[in-house]
Chains A and B, each alone.
Chain A
Amino acid sequence: MNPLVTPEIGLVVWTTVSFLVLFFLLAKFAWKPIMGAIDERERFIEDSLSKAEAAKDEMARLTNENDALLKQARIERDAILSEAKKVKDSIISEAKEAAHKEGARQIELARIEINNQKAIAMADVKNQVATLSLEIAEKVLRKQFEDSSKQDALVAELLKEVKL
C-alpha cells in the first residue's frame, strides 16, 4: 500500500488522544462560557428590543389617552361655557323682566298716588272754592240786605211766590 494512504497507527492514536483532550478542554473552558455569554447577550438584546417596543406601544397608548382626555376636557369646557352663557342670558333676561315688572309696578303705584293726590287736591280746591263762594255770597248778601226795606221787599216778594 502507498504510504500516503496508510494511516500510521502512532499518528492515529496521538490524533485521537490530542483531539479528545482538545475537545474536552475547549468544550469546558471555552465553548461553554463563550456560547453561554453569546446566548445571554442575544437574549438581553432581544429582551431590550421587545421592551423598547413595549415602551413605544405604551407611549403611543399614553399619548392617545392624553389626546382623548384633552379632547374630552375641551368638550366639557365648551359644554360648561355654553351652559354658563345660557345661565347668564337667562339671568339677564330674568333680571330685565323683573326690572320691567318692578318699574311698571312703581309707575302704577306712582300713577295711583298722583291720582289720589290729584283727587285730594281737587277736593281741597272745591272746598276752598265753595268756602270762597259762600263768603262772597255772604258778603254780597250782607251788602244787599244792609237796608231793612230791601229785606222787607224781598220777604214780601218771597212771600208772594210762596203759594200755600
Chain B
Amino acid sequence: MALTRRIIPCLDLKNGRVVKGTHFEDLRDAGDPVELAARYNEQGADEVVFLDITASKEARKTIIDLISRAADQLFLPLTVGGGIRTNDDITAILRAGADKVSINTAAVQNPAIISEGAAAFGTQCIVLAMDVRRNFQEAEGTNPIRLPDGSTCWYEVVTHGGSRPTGIDAIRWAKEGEERGAGEILLTSMETDGTKEGFDIPITEAIASATSIPVIASGGVGTLGHFYDGFVYGKADACLAASVFHFGEYTIKDVKEYLAAKGVPVRL
C-alpha cells in the first residue's frame, strides 16, 4: 500500500456560516460549519479546510470560537485560512485546535510571513494558498503554459479574493513559497472556481511538477471524473471541493469509491 491521495472538503465561512459562491461572488448559505465538519468526519474526509472570508477584522474573532467548537468534533487534520498576517494570528488559530494555516494575500504582501511561520511552527504547518488567473498578454519572466485549445498564456497570482492582479507569475511564486518553507500549496484557479467544469489542469500539473511539496487542486469540481482528472492529469496530491459536498451531490465516500475503482489510491 502507499500514501493515499486526499479528498478535502472546504468550508468557506462568512460571519460564522458556511457560504458558497461562483467566482468568489454571489454567496449562498450552505449550513452550519460545526455540523458540516462533523458530517465530513463521519463520511471519511481526509482533512477539512476552513477559509474565513469575513471582511471585517472584528467579525473575524468569531472564527476562533468556531474552530474550537469544530475541532472538538473533528479527529482529522484541520487547516484554517483567511486574514492571517502574523505569527500571533497563527498561534491563536493553532491553539483553538487547527493543525495548519493557509496564507494567501498576506504572503504576497509580506513573503517573510511564510519563512517566519515555518521557522516557528514547522513547514508542515504552513500552507501557501494561491489564487491564479490566466493572462494572455506577454510579459517578461513569466512561464508560458499551453492550454488544451492550443493557445498559450501565463498564470498570474491574484489577491483579495481574486479581485487584484499582482503581476506575479504563479509558477515562480509557488517555487518561492516552497523555498521559504511552505509545506503545501493550495492552488485555486479563478478560471474554473465555481464553474463545475473541472479543475484547471494545465496550471495544476505545471505547479505540481515545478515543486516538490504537495499540491492541493481547488476550484471547479462538478463530477466524479473531475477528481480523477485532478489526480491523474493534474498530478495533484489532494483535491479540494466545496459545493458538491455541501449540497449533497456526492458524499466523500462516493468520490473515494469511484477513484478506488479506477486505481487511484485512497483511504476507504
Pairing of A with B: no
